Chain A
Amino acid sequence: MKRKKRLHIAALYAILILVAIVMIFPFVWSVTASFKTSRQIYGGNPLDLIPNPATLNNYRKALSVLPFHRFLLNSLMLASIVPIASITLASMAAYSFARLQFKGRDFIFMLLLGVMMLPGHVTLIPRYALVRKLGWINKYTALIIPPIFGAGLVFNIFFMRQHFLSIPRELEEAALIDGCSSWGVWRNIIMPNSKPAIATLAIIGFKTEWNSFLWPNVVINDFLKMPIQVGLTYLQTNVQSSWDILMAATTLSIIPLIVIFMCFQRYFMAGILTTGLGGR
């Protein structure tokens, strides 16, 4: 019996490792390829994973062909400002929905939840037309402001409201009796008690914005203002199918997110585990 169980576990590990190889291989392949010389990439055996000789030339080329540091900075800005704004607005609204009384509260909340059912593509064209009328095309305002107001904001409101409902009321009641205003309660009691929930949303938001493509691609074509994903496709179409440079560029674009994922893994998981939604 014991032997059978051990065999069972060995077989399980074998399968797990095999699947893990499939899952990780594309990452390993692009990273190793980014250090290969173009001669090895085009002439060598594709199954050979070790760069021989190893070179940093691809990175040098990628950084000199296009302003890659700008792409990364633009993405960093986009992926920081949008989640910060969204979480701030969402936790304000969520506090109101969770704790305050006013006419039509539940109706408005339901109306908001409907937005989560709405696929983003329906509003793509009118948003573009609106941004164009405002003269925002190729400006950071177009890149940053419309993405704050979408299904993501509603998801954040929903998520924060759930969280606020789990905070014991006694904490606030003491403050309210002391004469603290609702704003004071929100700032000094509710928000400090919501750090894990905020971290979860921040991580999901960062990932979503770092990876966002369709909207930035439509409103930005000045390459000094492009975020990384748009910059990548720009590189793909303009430095055509030069795999050596492209692999260095994709590696540069993937690494920051992988590092963040490694550091904040449990928050990534928490987003899906607590709600089954998690920023899609």
Chain B
Amino acid sequence: MCHACKKAANGRDGMMRSLDRSQRQVRQTLTAWSFILPSLIGLGIFVYGSLVYSLYISFTSWDLLTPAKWVGFANYARVFRDETFIQCLYNTVYFVVAIVPLGIVFAMAMAMALNKQLPGIGFFRAAYYMPSITSTIAIGMVWLWIFNPDQGVLNALLKLIGVSNPPRWLESRVWAKPALSIMRLWQVSGYYMIMYLSGLQNIPNELYEAAEIDGATGWQKTKYVTVPLLSNTTLFATIMLIIEVFNLFEAVYVMTEGRPGGSTNTILYYIYAQAFQRYRMGYASAMAWVLFVILFVITLIQFAARRRKEEIGF
């Protein structure tokens, strides 16, 4: 037992007994608050306070140097007429379509392949997971060079297998988006694989045994037992992946800066550029709120869809 606090407590023993109940309750409340107060104060300033402040800024025109001017809904009205914002939104939807379904399939397939007790499986898990712990900035620079049309390894490989005129990747309006999608898929799949691995470990073995007695083949077991029972993980992973794609920033920052011709520009990169390169704090804040609302609605829709599915009895 703790020696120090025993000693300290001995002296207080008599005093404690004489305290009546309400006094003791006050004491407990004070103690409880003293535990949470440091966190609450910090979060109050840097999160809740910032949220209110951000909402206020979004209704002003402000360049940091001159005082903010109240402009009402002008920033929000501008967001939806801004062609660059619309383009960013389109690009983001493209990335969602290119990355989310494939990411889910890769992650699930990798997890199923690695959910076995075979020699060396730990090595493969670590290898697949490694890209997701590496900084996007550093590994983005490596990929920038991999995609280099003349000196990069990817085109050297394509030429080796007989592609005479390989794509110009990040320099091409057509191929820049697929290139970024490939890089992101490579980087994030391993993270979701671990999520699926934990999902797989929660599936009781009896279900597979029962399916085997009914004469199910390996593929049927996957289709009728594994995939449906992973649907919770899939819902969660899908939401997180969509949010992740909407927040695509660092890869764009090091690899393309939104080029060529804005074809890889994303909402977050555009917000960053407006705020910290053009100093349009009000407009950037309005866009940040629009992005927030979009993400919130997507999450709600997915949960609602899930509930409906359950009602139907899927």
**Residues of A near any B CB (own CB < 8 A):** 9, 12-13, 15-16, 19-20, 22-24, 26-27, 29-30, 33, 41-42, 45-47, 89-90, 92-93, 95-97, 100-103, 105, 108, 112, 115, 117-130, 132, 146, 148-150, 153-154, 157, 174-175, 178-184, 186-189, 207, 210-211, 213-214, 218, 229, 232-233, 236, 243, 246-247, 250, 253-254, 257-258, 261-262, 265, 268-269, 272-273, 276, 278, 280
Contact A232–B138 (Cβ < 8 Å): yes
- The one of A12, A30, A153 in contact with B39, judged by C-beta atoms closer than 8 angstroms, is A153
- What residues on A are CB-neighbors of B123 within 8 Å? 20
Interface of A is mostly: helix
Contact B47–A123 (Cβ < 8 Å): yes
Residues 136-147 of chain B: 1 if any A CB is under 8 Å from the residue's CB, otherwise 0?
111101110110
Further contacts, 10 of them, CB under 8 A, given A46-B156, A186-B35: A26-B139, A29-B142, A29-B153, A100-B32, A112-B43, A122-B291, A125-B285, A153-B43, A188-B2, A269-B194
Q: How far is the CA of A233 from the CA of B296 in the complex (A)?
A: 32
Contact B36–A253 (Cβ < 8 Å): no
Q: How far is the CA of A115 from the CA of B135 in the complex (A)?
A: 24
Mind listing 24 A-B residue pairs with CB under 8 Å?
A16-B113, A19-B110, A20-B127, A26-B131, A26-B146, A93-B35, A100-B32, A102-B28, A115-B47, A119-B247, A122-B54, A122-B288, A129-B64, A179-B13, A180-B2, A180-B9, A181-B31, A183-B31, A188-B1, A210-B135, A214-B250, A265-B126, A269-B129, A272-B195
Q: Please give me the residue from chain B that is nearest to A41 by CB atom.
A: B151
Contact B138–A280 (Cβ < 8 Å): no
Q: How far is the CA of A112 from the CA of B32 in the complex (A)?
A: 16
Q: List B170-199 residues whose CB lies under 8 Å from chain A.
A: 186, 190-191, 194-195, 197-198
A216, chain B: closest CB distance, angstroms = 11
Q: How far is the CA of A184 from the CA of B150 in the complex (A)?
A: 65
Interface membership of B29, Cβ < 8 A = yes
**Residues of B near any A CB (own CB < 8 A):** 1-2, 4-6, 8-10, 12-13, 16, 28-29, 31-33, 35-36, 38-40, 42-43, 45-47, 49-51, 53-54, 57, 64, 110, 113-114, 118, 123-131, 133-139, 141-143, 145-146, 151-153, 156-157, 160, 186, 190-191, 194-195, 197-198, 233, 236, 240, 243-244, 246-247, 249-250, 253-254, 268, 271-272, 275-276, 281, 284-285, 288-289, 291-292, 295-296, 299
